[in-house]
Structure 1
Amino acid sequence: MADEKPTSWWATLPGLLTAAAAVITAVTGLLLGLGQLGLFDAGRPAASTASASSTTAGAAQPGSTVRPTGVPSATGDGAGWTVALPAERKFRAGDVEYEILGAGVRPDVSGQVALTVALRCTNHGRYDINFWDSTFRLNADGISHSPDSGLNELVAGDSSKSGDVRFILPADTREALLRIKFVQGESTAQLAISPP
């Protein structure tokens, strides 16, 4: 009995099961990470950010505010203000798609104007994504404005959600460029603002 050598933990059944579980966990984590980066989407068509960037306000109906029914909107009473939207209103990159549903402007108490854009976020992927203010910026008169609407939603895989993004702008703003940021790049939409 004194001559018995202790066996390595690799040679025991619990040791082998522990090692197998560690390998499976590591491979699963690696595959999930690569899937999140879009490595397995090689067969899908390329993102449509190039065509979405070429939208112009000239193709929209000037002087019209589009505010679809049934869409939550915090645009309030615009008292005659209108927003002309571009003809192309859907922007997609990878599994994420944003659609401009409408827009409205109203005077703000601070002597500025509040531009609210109603958007729909569609998640064509399998995993939840954020639908939040951080995705959007508005360029007006050479200044990039961040929204102050507090939008922060999760959109589950293969589903859509609508929400409002609000920007506070100088009252003399007449043209603005909505920027939608994707992991793969950025799309833009020109908005024309007309006072009463």
Structure 2
Amino acid sequence: MAEEKSFWTTVPGIITGLAAIVTAVTGLIVALNGAGIFRKSAAGNQSSTETKTVVRKAADSLPGKQADQRRFVEKLKPVFSMTEVQIEDHEYKILGSSLEAITPEINSLKIKIKYKNNSNYSPATFWNEGFRLAIDGSLTAPSGDLSELVERHAELAKTVTFEVPNNAKNLALHILDVGKDISIPIELV
């Protein structure tokens, strides 16, 4: 009597086994991502205003020498001219901010904002499209991925992130809502 082959040694059996492994690994990755394993630390989302560092190159003080790779640190703190804005049924409150170096030329400005939807009728979108940063007069979109739906009579605090050149002189946060543009000047001290 001829011996039968095991299902797992046939081509359909091998393909089925590989598909099961790929499905299991994909499910594991999705579950770990949902649990926050692959997300960045939330240290930038603290509620108080922080002082971070901006890294700049320092020139060598000896005559005839080129600038070396030593760096000095300058502490900068974003200060907003106002921290609360109300536009019709929508309230915005700046809870804190931080400025930190990404590269020697670019900084990351993170602004934690609490949004409150006081509408009696519908949910509202709390997203990047509602914010711009004027950098020396030019409007710039946020670099983060803020996109939340806030139910009526509810509030949510999230961080809006912008990339700011190290040599920026004038900054202003623009809140765009219900056809209005509210500008809040920012001073780096």
Specify the TM-score bucket, using the shorter chain as the normaliser.
0.5 to 0.7
Alpha-carbon separation, structure 2, partners of 1:71 and 1:149: 12
Mapping of residues 114-153 of structure 1, within 5 Å: 114-126=108-120, 127-153=122-148
Deviation at 1:109, TM superposition (A): 2.7
Alpha-carbon separation, structure 1, partners of 2:157 and 2:90: 13
Instruction: Describe the shift of the 1:71–1:96 C-alpha distance in structure 2 as closer, same or farther (beyond 3 A).
Output: farther
Instruction: Describe the shift of the 1:71–1:106 C-alpha distance in structure 2 as closer, same or farther (beyond 3 A).
Output: closer
Structure 2 counterpart of 1:119, one-letter code: I
Structure 1 counterpart of 2:177, one-letter code: F
In the other structure, the counterpart of 2:151 is 156
- Aligned-residue sequence identity (percent) comes to 22
The partner residue of 1:178 within 170, 173, 176 is 173
Alpha-carbon RMSD across the aligned residues, in angstroms, is 2.4
Task: Give the SS at the match of 1:172.
Answer: coil
Task: Tell me, yes or no, if structure 1 residue 82 matches structure 2 residue 77.
Answer: yes
How many residue pairs match? The answer is 124
Instruction: Describe the shift of the 1:97–1:71 C-alpha distance in structure 2 as closer, same or farther (beyond 3 A).
Output: farther
Any unmatched runs of 5+ in structure 1?
A: 1-69
8 Å Cα contact 1:178-1:190 kept in structure 2:
yes
* TM-score, structure 1 as length reference: 0.58
Deviation at 1:99, TM superposition (A): 0.9
Structure 2 counterpart of 1:121, one-letter code: Y
8 Å Cα contact 2:104-2:166 kept in structure 1:
no
Q: Deviations over 1:48-96 (max 9, x none)?
A: xxxxxxxxxxxxxxxxxxxxxx99349987122211122x311111111
* TM-score, structure 2 as length reference: 0.60
Q: Deviations over 1:123-171 (max 9, x none)?
A: 0013110000000001111211100111011111101000000110110
In the other structure, the counterpart of 1:92 is 86
Any unmatched runs of 5+ in structure 2?
A: 1-42, 54-74
Higher relative contact order (CA 8 A, sep 6+): 1
Alpha-carbon separation, structure 1, partners of 2:148 and 2:161: 15
Structure 2 counterpart of 1:72, one-letter code: N
8 Å Cα contact 2:87-2:177 kept in structure 1:
yes
Instruction: Describe the shift of the 1:158–1:71 C-alpha distance in structure 2 as closer, same or farther (beyond 3 A).
Output: farther
